[in-house]
Amino acid sequence: MRAAVCIALAVVAVAACACRIPEDPDGTLDRVEGGVMRVGITESDPWVELEGGVPTGGVEVRLVRRFARDLGARIEWVDGSEEELVDALKEGSLDLVIGGLTSKSRWKKDAAFTRPYVETTTVVGVPAGSSLPDDLDGVTVAAELGTEAEALVDAKTDADVRPVRDLGRAHGEPAAAHDYVLDDLGLAAGTELKEDKHVMAARLGENAFLVRLERFLLGRSEEIERMLRKEGRP
């Protein structure tokens, strides 16, 4: 019983003390606030768009810019491959990495992912009002050459895949595409091929920073989806 009282007191003491819960072991949030936030970026349309190593747009770039404004931080962009960036993040040379990461990413163990802040799906888009068989038997579906979607259409449906360089040119015909570009292609959602939960990566254990970022991202989903439809325009 005495031990239980001790534990209860410890919980209350920690909760009531002036300190912030959770705290960063390395003080990332304190350093970034009013200071510099080092953000690793890697090209991933429509999340991060780069030109010559400088971000020109993308949903995540815009979100991070806004987050930095909230913190009063200046951003130092560092571009590189995902692996380079995650390694740097793990060692503490970066504070945040973005680039279309999803909750299924293999970097899961090397970085602290935020809660998914938006979900996207890859679907077979069909012309609105058309009635196609559920298994899409005999239907020709356009898919971007060399993308995951191309293989997924083949594996999950009986459709014939037509690889194309640019989906934008296949306007109006059945195509495997992300849900956020369907409107622009003049299609309605059909068979779902894949679901992606998008996350950003913070440094492992820097929980105050992580929680601050998650609070920023959560509750913005509508806004983010709007942004996505705009940025994702083919």
Partner 1 sequence: MTDRRETEGPFRRFELPEELLPEQRKAVRLEWLTLVYMLSAVVLLALTLGQSQAMKAAWIEDLLSLLPPAAFLIASAMRTRDPSAKFPWGFHRSVSVAYVFAALALLVMGAYVFFDSAFKLVTAERPPIGVIQLFGEEIWLGWVMIGALVYSGLPAVFLGRAKLKLADELHDKVLYADAQMNKADWMTVSAAIVGILGIGVGLWWADAVAAIFISLDILHDGWKNMRASVHDLMDARPRRHDAREFHPIVDRIEDELRKLDWIEDGAVRLREEGHVFTGEVLVVPREDDHLVDRLEELAHHLLSLEWKVYDIVVVPVREIDIPSRDGRPRSSAVGEEPARSP
Residues that bind partner 1 (CB under 8 A): 3-4, 6-7, 10-11, 14, 19, 21-25, 112-115, 202, 204-208, 210-211, 214-215, 218-219
CB of 89 to partner 1, least distance (A): 12
CB of 176 to partner 1, least distance (A): 32
Give the torsion through C-alpha atoms of 194, 59, 45, 180, to 10 deg. Answer: 40
10 Å CB burial of residue 220 (0-12, 13-18, 19+) is: middle
CB of 27 to partner 1, least distance (A): 8
Distance CA 127, CA 233 (A): 18
Q: Which is nearer to partner 1, 22 or 57 (CB)?
A: 22
Q: Which is nearer to partner 1, 19 or 155 (CB)?
A: 19
CB of 211 to partner 1, least distance (A): 5
Distance CA 221, CA 234 (A): 21
CB of 24 to partner 1, least distance (A): 6
Contact 223, 59 (CB under 8 A): no
Q: Which is nearer to partner 1, 177 or 202 (CB)?
A: 202
Q: Which is nearer to partner 1, 185 or 210 (CB)?
A: 210
Contact 36, 93 (CB under 8 A): no
Q: Which residues contact 42 (CB under 8 A, 6 or more apart)?
A: 48, 79, 80, 81, 82, 85, 97, 98, 99
Q: Which is nearer to partner 1, 18 or 155 (CB)?
A: 18
Phi first, then psi: what are they for 79, rounded to 5°? -100, 150
CB of 23 to partner 1, least distance (A): 3
Sign of the torsion angle spanned by Cα atoms 125, 130, 133, 139: negative
Q: Which is nearer to partner 1, 85 or 143 (CB)?
A: 85
